[in-house]
């Protein structure tokens, strides 16, 4: 998974030994806080609800590694913890994530939520499209609350998201391959 927005760029390469667990490499260049984090991330599916026409999930995400603040190569033990939840049907999508970081003593808390709608319902194997709105809250940022309209394309194992954050005039681009 490769994610980019105005605050950070990250690379996430994981292996799932079970249906509920994944572990792997995580690197993030946080532009907003001028820090590079490199380490391991563990994800745990806490609970999944499968309904007749919907699915909901809760996740725990933990990371530990080294942060190099301000490019001074003095790597310090650092980490993050996040809780995420989502609910979706073939037409509607909602998600929420709270993420706390401590990158070399630079602590922050972020909230992110999304709501989306699929303008059409495709069959298995078709290109699926979602129109979404993401709202982020990062109290320490120069612009604490931002909104990002985005479009998501999903086909087979590929997912691409392109958006534009209105308040900061920055591009959001995410690419995920699942295999």
pLDDT at 5 over 80: no
Q: With respect to CATH, is domain 2-177 assigned 2.40.160?
A: yes
Task: Give the list of residues 6+ apart from residue 59 with CB closer than 8 angstroms, or none.
Answer: 43, 44, 45, 46, 82, 83, 84, 85
Q: What is the pLDDT of residues 118-134, one digit of tens each?
A: 999 988 889 999 999 99
Contact between 87 and 113 under an 8 Å Cβ cutoff? The reply is no
The angle subtended at Cα 97 by Cα 94 and Cα 102, nearest 5°, is 170
Q: Report the pLDDT averaged over residues 6-28.
A: 92
pLDDT at 137 over 90: yes
- Quickly state the pLDDT bin for 73 (edges 50, 70, 90): low
The alpha carbon dihedral of 128, 131, 136, 142 has a sign of positive
User: Distance between CA atoms of 66 and 91, rounded to whole angstroms?
Assistant: 40
Residue keyed to tokens 């958006």:
163
Contact between 78 and 65 under an 8 Å Cβ cutoff? The reply is yes
Residue keyed to tokens 């190099």:
68
3-class secondary-structure state, position 77:
strand
Task: Give the list of residues 6+ apart from residue 48 with CB closer than 8 angstroms, or none.
Answer: 55, 56, 57
* pLDDT for 71: 62
| DSSP bridge pairs for 46 | none
* pLDDT for 41: 97
pLDDT at 2 over 90: no
User: Distance between CA atoms of 167 and 7, rounded to whole angstroms?
Assistant: 13
Domain map (residue ranges) of the chain: 2-177
User: Distance between CA atoms of 80 and 61, rounded to whole angstroms?
Assistant: 8
Contact between 69 and 77 under an 8 Å Cβ cutoff? The reply is no
pLDDT at 62 over 70: yes
């Amino acid at each position: 998974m490769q994610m980019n927005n105005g605050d950070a760029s990250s690379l996430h390469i994981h292996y799932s030994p079970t249906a509920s667990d994944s572990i792997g490499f995580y690197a993030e260049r946080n532009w907003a806080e001028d820090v590079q984090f490199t380490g391991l991330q563990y994800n745990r599916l806490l609970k999944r609800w499968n309904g007749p026409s919907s699915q909901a999930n809760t996740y725990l995400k933990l990371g530990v590694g080294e942060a190099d603040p301000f490019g001074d190569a003095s790597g310090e033990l650092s980490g993050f913890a996040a809780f995420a939840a989502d609910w979706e049907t073939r037409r509607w999508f909602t998600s929420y994530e709270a993420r706390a970081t401590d990158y070399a003593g630079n602590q922050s808390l972020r909230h992110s939520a999304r709501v989306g709608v699929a303008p059409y319902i495709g069959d298995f194997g078709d290109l699926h499209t979602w129109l979404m709105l993401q709202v982020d809250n990062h109290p320490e940022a120069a612009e604490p609350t931002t909104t990002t309209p985005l479009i998501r394309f999903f086909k087979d194992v590929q997912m691409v998201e392109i958006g534009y954050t209105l308040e900061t005039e920055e591009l959001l681009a995410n690419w995920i391959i699942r295999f």
